[in-house]
Structure 1
């Protein structure tokens, strides 16, 4: 265990499952250390090999409290599958366990490939209680787009087992466990468009107005987007008058890029039949 030098003093870095970072220790850190941040790194190739060894893996994961989050049957089916399927499964299964066991309020769970001729990739998990810390980490991902990637939905994703990926539940052949997304311009456009399609109806369906800051807290860690990207996703609806964003002193925002965390979001009185971002 080492303490990071380029971030706050409360940042702690762990490397890999084999160091046996237990869930209770992470929970203690996030419940007792103000502004805590924890970074976990995993060598992907080693992790895939490790997860293929069922007996050894189950024992190790039981020791650190993560075994109950693993869909063992799916992992068995993945033994001869592609790296894309493996990396998606790692994100969906282990990330949920790490987040829930740690008690951290915010997280990023993406992959990084270092610059240079190396072919290896590692999984970088950042846990924190600060949404700002999470947003700074996401900004870094987009700035270093050539090196970061993920295998989840491009806009809002879910972690853990998904029935739609289960061959027995759907009757479909094969496993649909994601595709690779780089943090590039194409991914940015898909992320923004997807967020527009999902967030605007979410606000319309809400029984009460919602603070923009509360919206960020609710969906912030379930998207690869930064705060500014979420603002851009809401911008078309606000400019068109489909959504209203009001400041705490009652002023109406003319565009999504100027929304503040304490602004209130609410649908316009005349609800549109459909919304096209």
Structure 2
């Protein structure tokens, strides 16, 4: 049995790293719904949302926990979407959502039933374009997931979002992550863990094998978190270990730490099988600047170490974006050259997004403003503006390279 980390009955305190996680989860889910409901002709979107370590839903200061954050985001986003659609003369869109809440603590689940009753009733009574189905489960997630996954499969939804804010690291296995990522056609997972638990779980041999292959040089014991948690080189090495350990679970895995100037102790990982999902996630992190941290390259191949390059702390802020644009001007032509000098923009995104922290605007800026690249439309014309680039365009190296490319 997992030791309970929160005293929900007497009021659980909301710490700083949890506040950051909830802010990112809230904004991402809103953007997720907006993107998935964007087509004017679309009349319904069906999805499942699973909160595997839900808690009681409200902290001692009145702040919403993840279950209420998600429910609140659903009702507010649906209302905003349909107000816009009505103004544009489009039919309303119905969002059908299967929520599953689980916690190992029966008391937390009982309190969650009470704390969520009001918002669930309000959605059912006042939001006719939301079809809400909720279920509550008690138990360790590895056991409860069987019933939850059966419910998802029975619902026949094609999209699922899992929030797994575990208490340590061992409550969600790598095999379970792979299973969840394949439960529907489009699945995404948010996984949280304490880095000390993660490094303790891994064998020393596995860690040595990873950090011995092109990772940021770090002289100390990577598993000694208390001693090294404020050192950027340590952060870069740990990112590499996290990424290499979990990259098999999904096509796109973000290995970024929750930023804390006093020490990087908690990680929030986003798993997706679509580059578009990773693109949206990166952009959300930039809107919440300094919420997560990366140490290494800021362009493409973010975890690749080259002793001739200087590495910096990337905090998803304006200074970091400036650094990314400079590196992307070099990196993008190099990547295009590996694809016989031309590829579809969509294929470029697929090849690049798993190993970049960059904002989508900065990537498109570096494409349009690069003297060695051109973007060709399906009709043979040239794109002149970054915000008009389409996945079906062709990104190619120019026939005549610039002096800029010769001196890189």
Higher-Rg member (1/2): 2
Aligned to 1:170: none
Question: Of 171, 183, 188, which aligns to 1:37?
Answer: 188
- Tell me if structure 1 keeps the 8 A contact 2:289–2:315: yes
- Structure 1 residues 45-99: Cα deviation after superposition (integer angstroms, max 9, x where no partner): xx23763xxxxx2xx336xxxx764227878634454522332222111222111
Alpha-carbon distance between aligned partners in 2 of 1:142 and 1:33, rounded to the nearest angstrom: 28
Task: Please list every run of 5 or more consecutive structure 1 residues that lacks an aligned counterpart in the other structure.
Answer: 52-56, 166-175
Map of 1:244-263 to 2, 5 A cutoff? 244-263=374-393
What is the total number of aligned residue pairs between the two structures?
A: 245
Correspondence 1:73-92 to 2 at 5 A: 77-78=221-222, 79=224, 80-81=227-228, 83=230, 84-92=232-240
Partner residue in 1 for 2:329: 196
C-alpha separation in 2, matches of 1:31 and 1:134: 17
Q: Could you say which residue in structure 1 is the equivalent of 2:146?
A: none
How far the C-alpha of 1:186 sits from its partner, in A, is 1.0
In 1, distance between residues paired with 2:336 and 2:181? 31
2:188 touches 2:272 (CA, 8 Å); kept in 1? yes
1:138 aligns with 2:282: yes
Alpha-carbon contact 2:341-2:397 (below 8 Å) kept: no
Higher relative contact order (CA 8 A, sep 6+): 1
How far, CA to CA, are the matches of 1:210 and 1:50 in structure 2? 38
CA 1:267/1:187 → structure 2, altered by over 3 Å: closer, same or farther? same
Calculate the TM-score normalised by the size of structure 1: 0.74
Unaligned ranges ≥5, structure 2: 1-51, 55-66, 75-96, 99-159, 212-217
What secondary structure sits across from 1:217 in the alignment?
helix
User: Aligned partners of 1:265 and 1:235: how far apart in 2?
Assistant: 10
Q: Does 1:232 align with 2:368?
A: no
Partner of 1:54: none
- 1:128 equivalent in structure 2: 272
Q: Would you say the 8 A contact 2:190–2:268 is kept in 1?
A: yes
| Alpha-carbon offset, residue 224 of structure 1 | 0.7
C-alpha deviation, 1:244, in angstroms = 2.1
* Aligned partner (choices 300, 303, 306) of residue 156 of structure 1: 300
Counterpart-to-counterpart distance in 1, 2:161 and 2:259: 22
